[in-house]
Structure 1
Amino acid sequence: MNSSRKDWSEKLDDALWAYRTAYKTPIGRSPYSLIYGKACHLPLELEYRARWAIKYLNMELSTAQEKREMDLHELEEIRLDAYESSRIYKERTKAFHDKRITPKDFKEGDDVLLYNSRLKLFPGKLKCRWSEPFKVKEVLPYGAITLVNNNGAEFTVNGHRLKKYMGSQSIEEGSSIRLHDPPQA
C-alpha cells in the first residue's frame, strides 16, 4: 500500500488470493484445494491445461463425465481428510492449553488477592498488580466468586483474576525460620 493507506481496496483481491492459496497446517492443505480439489494454477497454466484436457479426452462426453464423477468423489475424501486433520489439530492445541492450567479451588473464608487489570494501561515501575487481600464470601457456579473487602462491601469477580493469599498464615510461637536452612519435614 502507499503511505496514506487509501489503496487498500485495490490490494484486497491480491491479499485474499494469497490467503486462499497458502498452505494451512490445521487442515493440511490450502483452502483453494479444499474447495476445488486440486492445486491452484495461474491463468496461463489453466489455459494450457484446458487445451491439454480437451486433446487428451478427445471430446468424448462419457469419458469426461466419468472423470468428473471420480474427481467429485476424490474431493469429498479430501474434505473429510481435512476435517479430520483440523479435529486432531484442535485436540492437540486444547491438550497443550489444558496442561498449562493450574486448578484454582477457593472455599468460603479464604483470603485471596485480586488481579488489577487496569494497571496494564499505566503501569508503575514497581507497582504490584495484585490488590489487597479479600475474603471469599461465596463460590458461585461457573467460576464466579463473591468477595468481601475490609469495609464489608461485596462484589463478584471471575475466579481467574484471583489467587490465594498466603500472608495470613501465622507461624507457630516459639519457632523460627532461617532462610538459608532447608525446611524441616
Structure 2
Amino acid sequence: MVKAANKTVVAILRKMSDNYREWPDKIPFALWVYRTSIRTATGATTYYLVYGMKAVPPAKLEVPYLRILLESQKRIERAFNKKVKAPGIKEGDLVLKSVRALLPVDPRGKFKPNWTGPKLVKKILSRGAVWLTDLDGNDFANPTNMDQLKK
C-alpha cells in the first residue's frame, strides 16, 4: 500500500513539475491531492477514512490543489475514453439482446441461452439508450442500454 502511495505521489509531482529540484516545495500539494482524491475501491478519500469528515484545503493550498485535481481528472478521463469503443450499431440494425434477468427456476441451468433475438433497433437515444422492437413490430416497454446489445 505504501509503495502504491509513493508511486502515486511521485506521479503527481511529475505532473506538477518536470524539474525534480522543485519537488521538495511541492510535496505538500502532492500529498494533499493524494489524500483528498477519491479511491475507487472504497468510494471515499483517505482523509475521510481517517478523520471522518470532508477535507477543507488551507488557503495556500486551494488554488494549486484545484488545478492539480482538474489535471488529474482530465488524465483519468482520457485514459478511460481510450478504452471505450463505439458499438457500431445503427437504427434499423438487427441485434441480439443479452439475458440478464434471473429467472426463478430454469431447468436448463447454466445451459440457458445468454442472448435473445434478433431484435430491430428502432431509435437510438442519447447516452447509449436504444428503443427495440421485435420482428413482428411489437415495441419494448422500456429502452435498453446499448452495452446489452451485439450485432
Within a 5 Å distance, the mapping from 1:2-41 to structure 2 comes to: 27-29=33-35, 31=47, 35=56
Give 2:99's aligned residue: 116
Aligned residues: 102
What is the alpha-carbon distance in structure 2 between the residues aligned to residue 86 and residue 92 of structure 1? 10
What is the TM-score normalised by the length of structure 1?
A: 0.44
What is the alpha-carbon distance in structure 2 between the residues aligned to residue 96 and residue 120 of structure 1? 37
Q: Which runs of 5+ in 2 are unaligned?
A: 1-29, 37-46
Cα 1:35–1:146 shift into 2, 3 Å: closer
Cα 1:145–1:35 shift into 2, 3 Å: closer
What is the alpha-carbon distance in structure 2 between the residues aligned to residue 133 and residue 88 of structure 1? 44
Give 2:150's aligned residue: 163
Higher mean alpha-carbon deviation, 121-130 vs 154-163, is at 121-130
- What letter corresponds to residue 131 of structure 2 in structure 1? T
Which of 126, 130, 139 in structure 2 is aligned with 1:154?
Answer: 139
Aligned-residue CA RMSD (Å): 3.3
Give the fraction of aligned pairs with identical amino acids, expressed as a percent: 27
Cα 1:102–1:119 shift into 2, 3 Å: farther
Which of 50, 67, 70 in structure 2 is aligned with 1:84?
Answer: 67
Which structure 1 residue ranges, 4+ long, deviate > 6 Å from structure 2?
120-123
Q: Which runs of 5+ in 1 are unaligned?
A: 1-23, 37-74, 165-185
Which of 119, 122, 125 in structure 2 is aligned with 1:134?
Answer: 119
What is the alpha-carbon distance in structure 2 between the residues aligned to residue 96 and residue 122 of structure 1? 41
What is the alpha-carbon distance in structure 1 between the residues aligned to residue 103 and residue 81 of structure 2? 25
Q: Is the contact between residue 135 and residue 147 of structure 1 (CA under 8 Å) also seen in structure 2?
A: yes
Q: Which has the larger radius of gyration?
A: 1
Which of 75, 85, 88 in structure 2 is aligned with 1:102?
Answer: 85
Instruction: Give 1:76 shift.
Output: 1.8
